[in-house]
Amino acid sequence: MSVAEKEKVETFKNLVNGEWKSSRNGATFENENPAVRGSNIALFQSSTPEDVREAIDVADNAYRTWRRTSVPERQNYIAEFLRLLKESREELARIVTLENGKTIRESRGEVDSALVEGSYHLNQIANFMGQAGPNAFRDISTWVQYHSLGVVGVISPWNFPMNVMSRKTLPALLTGNTVVFKPATFTPWSGVFMAQLLEQAGLPKGVFNCVTGLGSSIGNVIVEDPRVRAITFTGSTEVGKKIQVKGSVNLTRMQLELGGKNALIVMDDADIGEAVGAAAIAGFSNAGQWCTSTSRVLLHRDIAKQFLSTLTARCEKMNVADGISETADMGPVAGPQQFDDISKAIRQAKADGARLVAGADAGDPAGYFIRPTVFTDVTTNMPVFRDEIFGPVIAVCEFSTLDEAIELANNSIYGLSSGMFTKNLANAKKYIDGIEAGLAHVNIHTGYKEPAMPFGGVKQSGAGLPENSRTGLEFFVDQKAVYLRG
């Protein structure tokens, strides 16, 4: 990119101690719109370890005052942030689409989800912070007192760049912690925009800090600093394992929301139309790039042919286009690395003998487009069955009994989300009891969630307390058991 071209796009800075700062070395990186190969929509700071350490310094200093603010004071700041977020819905949705690729309708939904979750945490914090305990003796009073941890590192993903950031950051702030936030390199604009809203909400200097850059350059600095008492991270299982190892040196508290290979079981008594709709929504929304997406569909043999015919027809009708278009059903995948990895997985599935029934046509070469893709004749030893592809690719297997279906679904190192379609209550209960996943859905797609329910996986899909619900706040506090006589 030439100097003249760089001057045409805006350059965004880091937010450190209430000031917008350039990185110490003056280096920046580009942000590509995945619908337009070779484009650049803005420049962002390629931060150095020293930039990050400064952010940790000021967050550590700010914590001494912030931790003593009252819950109502913190609520006022977050309420103002949510008001600004609601006002900015359309602008932020456009930014998410431009840098992530998802459709503008999906981006609006992401903002709406953040508003719902943020309002939930805002309303539950007052009751959460005080808990009385049973008194074994009349002259002894007992209660549990919660204390904030200190500096929290928030490392958010590119697939839901503002919703996940909000789900992590708001509970951290409401419980009295300060934050050092690193947005994903694919989607820094969404993160910086959220930082701007928090600044506008009037947060005191140093309470929230935002630094952009490569995870390999600055992520480790956040994870390894002993002053950072907790890390909340969403991303791949591979990276999550490395973060856990590095953080273990300081016994840093970890909340890791990682990969998934989520299965949808469709029984012979299921409503086929609804089940196909669920597979398409969770399989192809955000181009299949969400951790709770449906990537395996397990079909009862008696309905497999009908289901596949209906799903294939739906895939063929989907309009895969620039997500900024109101008529797009699916946008591009998030960038060149995603495109290459997903394309390689599709080629591997073909070579392994899986049968391609949807997605044969190439996407628009102007961007990183991949058509909704479905494979049948999949066996459990194939990578398309076992590996997280993180794209619009569904692997289909057939079964004869529910026991076989549950065994197939559990045949994975992952255990994040799952789903089942049936009209039989006994079958539903057997699935709920037997599935090895943090989320179990019956007659609902695998991506559905509510803020009052815990969000996290088992096996290699996560570690630490889940996000959302009460645990979403518990992660950010220490508990003190108090005994008082007198």
- Catalytic residue numbers, as ranges: 257, 291
Tokens for 186, please give them: 């694919």
Beta 294-300 vs 393-399: how paired, if at all? parallel
d(CA 469, CA 450) in angstroms, rounded, equals: 9
Which helix (H) or strand (E) segment holds residue 375: the answer is: strand 373-376
Centre a 10 Å sphere on the Cβ of residue 408 and count the other Cβ atoms it contains.
18
The two three-digit tokens of residue 309, written as one number? 């015919």
What's the distance, CA 206 to chain centroid? 25
**Sign of the CA dihedral 388, 96, 79, 117?**
negative
Spatial separation of the C-alpha atoms in residues 438 and 323, rounded to whole Å: 31
- Residue 390, both tokens: 């993180």
Amino acid, single-letter form, for residue 338: Q
Q: Rounded to whole angstroms, how far apart are CA atoms 84 and 97?
A: 19
**SS3 state at 393:** strand
C-alpha dihedral sign at 75, 78, 83, 86: negative
Positive or negative, the CA dihedral 75, 76, 82, 85 is: negative
Neighbour count for residue 412 (Cβ, 10 Å) = 26
The H or E element containing residue 403 is helix 402-410
Q: For residues 80 and 95, is the Cβ–Cβ distance under 8 A?
A: no
Pull the structure tokens for residue 290: 């969400």
User: What's the rounded Cα separation, in Å, for the pair 465 and 475?
Assistant: 6
List C-alpha distances in Å: 80 to 18, 58, 69, 76, 199: 17, 23, 16, 6, 10
Give the whole-angstrom CA distance, residue 92 versus residue 110: 10
